Structure 1
């Protein structure tokens, strides 16, 4: 199944209409609107629904094959079949808040990560609009939806919500958009970041070279300008360059390197023989993450480290750096644009890496003399019997 997300406008009302009606038919209890309210709605009302100020309306389109796979004689591949939708709407009262609404995936298309892709796309769009958090309301007995939202980074709140006819109240869930806002900062400042990054390779390069032989396959998370990948390749390793910011991926490709977009929070993708998702590819001999995990929320760090473990072969290596300290917060150092950082102590970092299934975990402080920020380096390997 190949899924593409498409942003729609009022002019696409005829495409949006059957998807919305299918959602209201399939799950009438999940929406505030009723099928009867929209079934015979005129065109003007549908256009109005798709013209909310600042809103983003998305459709998930299923294609039998991607446009790249289409034969040369058919330059316009099939428009595909809509199998899901979602909307993000900025709050009129609080510019820091946006709401996720109209979330639905067709029953036959569930279980393929479509909901997560829609949610992430809405989160990114609302962060670009200036929102700091994304909220939603869900029925208290809709356990499947709650699990989906929890996996997508939402947490339950005790905020007051609408009262239902039976006296119950909807549940309000929220997702902080710190990660999206940080990625946006990198997108805007990729050139500035590259200019302000010195040419000296990170010490983590030498740490990895001491752990793997020449010819090893390495997955680099957060390649950025590509400085460390250049050093690893010069030492005889093969590097799969990835970054969560498209601006860095574009820079790497323009310089003649193979590079791909990869958000470390992404758990969608192919599965291995045991049925476990392997969205990062592999198996690699090592995962290299210099100054990347420090942007991952504390609660998301263990799942990210678990994905890293699944991306390497048994015995494969992890080499990563984070900032040393307590808590988390925003900083505009180096980029002059706020980025979110999670700080770690030695014990806490060792504990979360071990909990993710890595063994031989070593954490040490690697702050340079005279530096005004403190750093930790962690190395570990995947158990041979894993």
Structure 2
């Protein structure tokens, strides 16, 4: 089994593998899965991912066949490296492929400057949640996301003990920044902000580029700072992808 960087010639195999893996792991409708995979991994989108200097795309190859695929991205240096996808052919699960891809992905993210790895998994993906727990990750948060018109809960895992919320004072109001929940953006990451230390009331986002909270979210889920123009980059479940 060889773990290597993905290449453009792998795109068709990656599409097929991702489709079969998601069908085996998720309760989403077949139409949603098929449509998402086609958009994430069409020829142009795959090439764009390969050319992204912050992205890590690996395949597990055996006898010329792709058995596994991982996609990760550096959110910020000295910050998070996100494992976005870890797919293994359902016929070859249980053979240690996921662990080898996971370790190789983590190593490459650290080489790019990540301080830790983070993973996001839909709550109804039992195997995915159990994998992160088995790897010793801690679930630090969850969030509601819209996938093709249906609300789903996504769990967030980190490989170290979760950081405490950091209180800040903006315009005389005390808010709390969550460094466990960051989103990749064009200028610098956005961090989740809460109105209370218990994460019960979400306030919005904190822009680490200009250190402000005048941040808006449009109907497509895109986050944009009104002060400096920092804009979130598309994530795996963004409405723009579906």
SS of structure 1 residue aligned to 2:54: coil
- Deviation (angstroms), 1:58: 0.6
Structure 2 equivalent of residue 54 of structure 1: 54
Structure 2 vs 1, CA of residues 44 and 168 (structure 1 numbering), >3 Å: closer, same or farther?
closer
- Deviation (angstroms), 1:30: 7.8
1:146 partnered with 2:144: no
Give the conservation status (yes or no) of the 8 Å contact 2:2–2:62: yes
1:173 partnered with 2:157: yes
CA distance in 2, matches of 1:85, 1:59: 4
- Deviation (angstroms), 1:86: 0.5
SS of structure 1 residue aligned to 2:60: strand
SS of structure 1 residue aligned to 2:150: coil
Higher strand residue share = 2
Q: Which runs of 4+ in 1 moved over 4 A?
A: none
Give the conservation status (yes or no) of the 8 Å contact 1:60–1:118: yes
SS of structure 2 residue aligned to 1:61: strand
SS of structure 2 residue aligned to 1:18: helix
- Deviation (angstroms), 1:159: 5.0
CA distance in 1, matches of 2:128, 2:155: 11
Structure 2 vs 1, CA of residues 102 and 151 (structure 1 numbering), >3 Å: closer, same or farther?
same
Aligned counterpart in structure 2 of residue 5 of structure 1, from 3, 6, 14: 3
SS of structure 2 residue aligned to 1:169: strand
Structure 2 vs 1, CA of residues 30 and 85 (structure 1 numbering), >3 Å: closer, same or farther?
farther
Structure 2 equivalent of residue 27 of structure 1: 22
CA distance in 1, matches of 2:74, 2:68: 21
Aligned counterpart in structure 1 of residue 104 of structure 2, from 121, 132, 135: 121
- Deviation (angstroms), 1:38: 4.8
- What is the TM-score normalised by the length of structure 1? 0.36
CA distance in 2, matches of 1:127, 1:135: 12
Question: Which structure has the larger Rg over C-alpha atoms?
Answer: 1
Q: How many residues are aligned here? A: 154
Higher RCO structure, 1 or 2 (CA under 8 Å, sep 6+): 2
Structure 1 equivalent of residue 68 of structure 2: 84
Higher helix residue share = 1
- Deviation (angstroms), 1:153: 2.7
CA RMSD of aligned residues (A): 2.7
Give the conservation status (yes or no) of the 8 Å contact 1:88–1:100: yes
Structure 1 gaps of 5+ residues are 64-79, 178-386
Give the conservation status (yes or no) of the 8 Å contact 1:139–1:171: yes
CA distance in 2, matches of 1:160, 1:4: 35
Structure 2 gaps of 5+ residues are 162-242
Structure 2 equivalent of residue 97 of structure 1: 80
Per-residue Cα deviation, 1:72-96 (whole angstroms, up to 9, x for no partner): xxxxxxxx2110010220015x641
Structure 2 equivalent of residue 156 of structure 1: 139
- What is the TM-score normalised by the length of structure 2? 0.56
- Deviation (angstroms), 1:35: 2.4
CA distance in 2, matches of 1:161, 1:123: 26
CA distance in 2, matches of 1:23, 1:105: 8
SS of structure 2 residue aligned to 1:131: coil
CA distance in 1, matches of 2:150, 2:116: 30
CA distance in 2, matches of 1:107, 1:38: 16
CA distance in 2, matches of 1:162, 1:19: 25
SS of structure 1 residue aligned to 2:46: helix
